[in-house]
Amino acid sequence: MDWDGGQTVEERKRSESVDLPFVLAGLDATDSTTRREAVRTVRDGVESEPGTYVPTVPKLRELLREPEFELRKAVAFSLAELAVEAPSDVAPSADALVAVAAENPDTAATGELLRCLAAVAAERPTALADHVPEIVDVTAVRDDEWGIRTLAHISRARPEALEPALELLTETLASAPGDGAVPALSVLGRLARSEAELSSLAFVEHAVDLLECDDGELRRNAIGCLADVAHRRPEAVEPARSQVRAALESEDPKARANAAVTIGRVAATDPSVVEPVRSRLLELLEDDHQYVRANACIALGHGDVAEARDRLSTLATGDPEPTVRDRAAWACGELS
């Protein structure tokens, strides 16, 4: 309690020490030396007091548009920090920031701009949904994880808008997977579940390959991506049957849950896929994790496993989690 109060007083003192009108006037100055000093002040202050400098966003945006201004990286860094602090205040500048990035894809400032756009998209994904083609082009030039993360945030609100990113995302999985692979899998999964007409499902092969990698997070997300693909195109995940079945034994509950729902979605059109893992799915009805139990219910219901009826009936009335009760009740209906 005392420490919290002391921190608040200290923060207030620091904020009062900033002469914001002076800084704003400096950013508007006609001479370059004054403007550079004002930018350095913002650059040095945004890490510790980002909220204080939010009013500088419009002026920083205008400086960024000046191709000859020598501190554009510092301006872009400041905007990125401000976007983390106040994304809604930076969102109105999204069009201008994307335009600058598109015109200068290989500069250091653009790396910071992609980080800025990712922070905006995390809070306001629709503000960038119409800029997917430009973000794709810039990301392709830079091979930048922040660009992929920006696309991932956009896909939460407008997955169908990500069609222009299909080739880039597929290449991200095909190359030696780096930090961008996990958000790429998320985007591809949402895109596959959307109403978009995908021109290619080549990414499925790369997602299947990732089921054999050593990185647990990548394996889990690869299975999740395949589960999304199976939602509309269950036949596309046929080559991954053995790997998905093996994932039911994973120590990672999210991997088990993703594997169970993938099998369930394929079983909706081909119930025979459940038979080789019928016993394991019955065991998963008693798993400690609710989503594993719920997804096992889906797979058993689609798989027409009559011997699961009594256990499903018990879960439908007695499981502590409403999601499990609902899925179990649905499965009981399928088996009746």
> From CA 210, how far away is CA 206, in angstroms rounded?
6
Average confidence (pLDDT) over 218-228: 95
181 closest CA partner among 203, 155, 161 = 203
Residue 272 tokens read as 């025979």
Q: What is the pLDDT of residue 164?
A: 97
Q: What is the pLDDT of residue 15?
A: 54
The fold adopted by the segment(s) 159-247 is: Leucine-rich Repeat Variant (1.25.10)
Average confidence (pLDDT) over 261-290: 96
Q: What confidence category does residue 179 fall into, taking pLDDT thresholds of 50, 70 and 90?
A: confident
> From CA 74, how far away is CA 112, in angstroms rounded?
9
Average confidence (pLDDT) over 126-153: 96
Let me know if 309 is exposed, middle or buried by CB neighbors in 10 A (0-12, 13-18, 19+): middle
- 28 secondary structure, DSSP code: T
Is the pLDDT score of 11 beyond 70? Answer: no
Q: What confidence category does residue 178 fall into, taking pLDDT thresholds of 50, 70 and 90?
A: confident
Choose the weakest-confidence range: 11-20, 258-267, 311-320.
11-20
Average pLDDT, the chain: 93
Work out the percent of the chain whose per-residue pLDDT is above 90. Answer: 90
The CATH architecture annotation of domain 12-157 reads Alpha Horseshoe (1.25)
Is the pLDDT score of 10 beyond 50? Answer: no
Q: What are phi and psi of 254, to 5 degrees?
A: -70, -35
Q: What confidence category does residue 103 fall into, taking pLDDT thresholds of 50, 70 and 90?
A: very high
Average confidence (pLDDT) over 238-256: 93
Q: What is the pLDDT of residue 8?
A: 34
* Same fold: 12-157 with 159-247: yes
Q: What is the pLDDT of residue 73?
A: 96
Is the pLDDT score of 2 beyond 80? Answer: no
Q: What is the pLDDT of residue 336?
A: 85
> From CA 247, how far away is CA 64, in angstroms rounded?
49
> From CA 174, how far away is CA 213, in angstroms rounded?
13
DSSP-assigned states of every residue in 107-164: SHHHHHHHHHHHHHHHH-GGGTGGGHHHHHHHHHHHT-HHHHHHHHHHHHH-GGGGGG
Provide the residue ranges of all domains of the chain, joining segments of one domain with +: 12-157, 159-247, 256-336
Q: What is the pLDDT of residue 31?
A: 92
- 252 secondary structure, DSSP code: -
Q: What is the pLDDT of residue 17?
A: 78
Q: What are phi and psi of 306, to 5 degrees?
A: -60, -35
pLDDT tens digits along 43-95? 999 999 999 999 999 999 999 999 889 999 999 999 999 999 999 999 999 99
Is the pLDDT score of 144 beyond 60? Answer: yes
CATH superfamily of 256-336: Leucine-rich Repeat Variant (1.25.10.10)
Is the pLDDT score of 5 beyond 80? Answer: no
Instruction: Mention every residue, 6+ apart, whose C-beta is less than 8 A from residue 231.
Output: 192, 193, 265
